[in-house]
Structure 1
Amino acid sequence: MVNIPLNLFNVFLASAEQQSFKAAGEKLCLTTSAVSQSIKKLEDLLGVLLFHRKTNAVELTPSGVELLEYVKAGINEIEKGIQHITKQNDTISIFCPPGIASELLSPFMFKIIAEGFQNIRIESNEQFSYNTYSQYDLAIILDETEKQAKNTLYLGPDYYFPFCHKTIYDQINSIDDLYKMFLFHHDFSRISWKEWFAYNDITYTPQKTLTFTRAAQLLSSVDNGLGVGLESSRLLAKKLVSGDYRLCNLPNLKPVKKDITWLYINSNKKENKQILFLRDLVLEYCSTDIEGRLKCLG
């Protein structure tokens, strides 16, 4: 294989595009003579004529035309590679569902700031397309099928049970009491009230429901004591511990368990120290034990 300096291909590309050694020199900040000598050296190394020289211009030979396509493609790939690695070095990208972002990541944020991270992008979106998460360095994914995927770590089970604010807890002691309340739901929940009632062998006949477009809206309404929500104990953990939220007092009824929460790690970043640090933070602050309780809360 001929060892050819890459700068000769840059000179070749500029000369082909400008159709002039002089114009190529001006573009590359080289003299016309330097461009001419570089092209001559490239032709000698390849053993083919690349340009027909004219008085005030140059013209590609058939061999030059053929080489030009390969050089363009090669330089384009090099530029894409440079953009990719510089983007990776500049910014670490993380995807996280909005509920987890708002309820669990506060200590996570303090830790990454204290660690000296400078460029972190956290994208939070309910309508996440699971076939595109490979564009992120890390992604917290809510999807039962991800247990089959590579490069994912299980973050523990989610348990779904009706919950309310402490101010209305004493008013809910039976299913009939539950039906008297507004039952809150949001469009992107991984469980419906109908599913929870069916799991507990109860006919689904609620009289009052209110559906939100975001989990944050549901939680805000529960905070104000306006009704009862159905959400994962993972997201409710801190307010359950503080006593602001209570799991409704419904004897002999069971929570629905789902294995849906996974951490994806980009395979190209598995040895990156910063990514490994962030991975460990997610495992520390977002993982649940076998009963669905956040491990970091003991």
Structure 2
Amino acid sequence: MNRPPHRPLSLDGLRAFEAVARLLSFSAAAEELHLTQPAVSRQIKSLEEELGAALFHRATRRVDLTSAGQALLRVVAPALARIDTSVRQIRMSRSREMVSVTTFPSMASLWLMPRLTDFERSHPGADIRIAATDRLIETDDFELDVALRHCRPEKAPAGSERLFPELLTPVIGAALHQAIARGEAPPLATPADLAQHTLIEMDDGTPPAIALGWGAWLGAEQLGHLAPRRWITLNFTHQQVQAALAGHGVALARLALVHEMLARGDLVEPFGPAHRQPVPWLYWLVPLAGAGEPPRPEVQAFMAWVRAQAVLTRVAIGDVPDAETEALPD
């Protein structure tokens, strides 16, 4: 069974291997694949000969993966899943318009989804697929058309377009604001008053969580020593905002993602615009079309819509040249 280590592996049998490994049964895999059990056994045997290693421990009524089988499954299972996803999208794209977008969960929840009805109204035939993840994606990922990302300029992928900057501002929910006004909660007139309140913090274990957290904001306000009444720590920015809306304390919000809530009065800036702090992170639009391949019309339309919405956001947070206001979308 020895084979040269550089010899390419034939892909025949990988589907059968994945089914047997997942179901731990040759007969169940054969039924799922609409093959006979001997046919599945032959494919697995051929694959083992190609690899030069056994993939399964075979017993009378039991099948278990060997260490080699476990190692192969870790690679094969996600690869087959991606292939299946791509095939579905290719088949769907032959008859339907499709825009696949990746972004991080908080931008999806706080910025993209509240605005998406506007795009759907003008493009009723386009299906939208949103993959909300904090995992950095490859810019040549065939399954995706557009990425909306958040990073420092030196970390932005090639071809990225600046959407809007990051400004941090403390916010509270309307109910807490009213309770403070009635004297039913401690005052919150100056940043030093935060010591009497609960601070809602984001901590997802990433460097931005530190640079965009309360520690940095308080340090810039010469309050690095301040200890709040208590902390509430959450994983995502949108959870911070939800906690503030529910009246649990003071969140350090990202202005670009919450300015509409501030305009409606759902959230309140207790210290006003004067205590907004800029940080060197920006929001980006990243086209993901294949090299030399122009985006499909619906993808071009979506990116144009994102750009127009970004102009509105920049105007709302005070980050727009005068010339740009002359071309605001209707």
Distance 2:240 2:156 in 1: 31
Number of the residue aligned with 1:62: none
User: For residues 89-104 of structure 1, what are the structure 2 equivalents within 5 Å?
Assistant: 89=93, 91-104=98-111
Number of the residue aligned with 2:302: 278
Distance 2:99 2:193 in 1: 48
The amino acid that maps onto 1:279 is M
| C-alpha deviation, 1:146, in angstroms | 5.4
Distance 2:294 2:227 in 1: 48
Number of the residue aligned with 1:216: 238
**Structure 1 121/273 Cα, relative in aligned 2: closer, same or farther at 3 Å?**
same
1:175 aligns with 2:197: no
Q: Is the 8 A contact 2:191 2:271 kept in 1?
A: no
Query: SS state of the match for residue 134, structure 1?
Result: coil
Query: SS state of the match for residue 148, structure 2?
Result: strand
Distance 1:174 1:279 in 2: 41
Query: SS state of the match for residue 179, structure 1?
Result: helix
Query: SS state of the match for residue 280, structure 1?
Result: helix
Number of the residue aligned with 2:314: 289
Aligned length: 217
Number of the residue aligned with 2:158: 150
| C-alpha deviation, 1:257, in angstroms | 3.1
Q: Is the 8 A contact 2:218 2:226 kept in 1?
A: no
Query: SS state of the match for residue 93, structure 2?
Result: helix
Number of the residue aligned with 1:134: 140
**Structure 1 101/192 Cα, relative in aligned 2: closer, same or farther at 3 Å?**
same
Number of the residue aligned with 2:90: 86
Among 99, 111, 119, the alignment partner of 1:111 is: 119
Q: Is the 8 A contact 1:187 1:213 kept in 2?
A: yes
| C-alpha deviation, 1:99, in angstroms | 1.8
Number of the residue aligned with 1:71: none
Distance 1:157 1:291 in 2: 12
Over residues 239-272 of structure 1, what are the superposed CA-to-partner deviations in whole Å (9 max), with x where a residue is unaligned?
A: 1111121112269644233342101002435442
Q: Is the 8 A contact 1:183 1:227 kept in 2?
A: yes
Distance 1:139 1:124 in 2: 10
Q: Is the 8 A contact 2:200 2:249 kept in 1?
A: yes
The percentage of aligned residue pairs carrying the same residue is 17
Among 255, 262, 280, the alignment partner of 1:233 is: 255
1:187 aligns with 2:194: no
Q: Is the 8 A contact 1:234 1:293 kept in 2?
A: no
| C-alpha deviation, 1:151, in angstroms | 1.8
User: For residues 192-271 of structure 1, what are the structure 2 equivalents within 5 Å?
Assistant: 192-207=213-228, 208-249=230-271, 253-268=275-290, 270-271=294-295
Structure 1-normalised TM-score? 0.62
The amino acid that maps onto 2:220 is Y
Q: CA RMSD in A?
A: 3.3
**Structure 1 205/265 Cα, relative in aligned 2: closer, same or farther at 3 Å?**
same
**Structure 1 251/109 Cα, relative in aligned 2: closer, same or farther at 3 Å?**
closer
User: For residues 44-55 of structure 1, what are the structure 2 equivalents within 5 Å?
Assistant: none
Q: Is the 8 A contact 2:119 2:302 kept in 1?
A: no
Distance 2:256 2:120 in 1: 22
Over residues 223-247 of structure 1, what are the superposed CA-to-partner deviations in whole Å (9 max), with x where a residue is unaligned?
A: 1212000121111111111112111
| C-alpha deviation, 1:290, in angstroms | 6.9
Number of the residue aligned with 1:41: none
Structure 2, gaps ≥5 residues long: 1-82, 182-186, 321-327
Distance 1:294 1:225 in 2: 29
Over residues 90-142 of structure 1, what are the superposed CA-to-partner deviations in whole Å (9 max), with x where a residue is unaligned?
A: 643101222222222333244235513343210112x3225x24322100001
Number of the residue aligned with 2:18: none
Number of the residue aligned with 1:38: none
**Structure 1 281/290 Cα, relative in aligned 2: closer, same or farther at 3 Å?**
closer
Distance 1:162 1:86 in 2: 45
Q: Is the 8 A contact 1:93 1:137 kept in 2?
A: yes
**Structure 1 108/181 Cα, relative in aligned 2: closer, same or farther at 3 Å?**
same
**Structure 1 144/251 Cα, relative in aligned 2: closer, same or farther at 3 Å?**
closer
Number of the residue aligned with 1:166: 174
Among 122, 129, 132, the alignment partner of 1:121 is: 129
Instruction: Pick the structure with greater CA Rg.
Output: 1
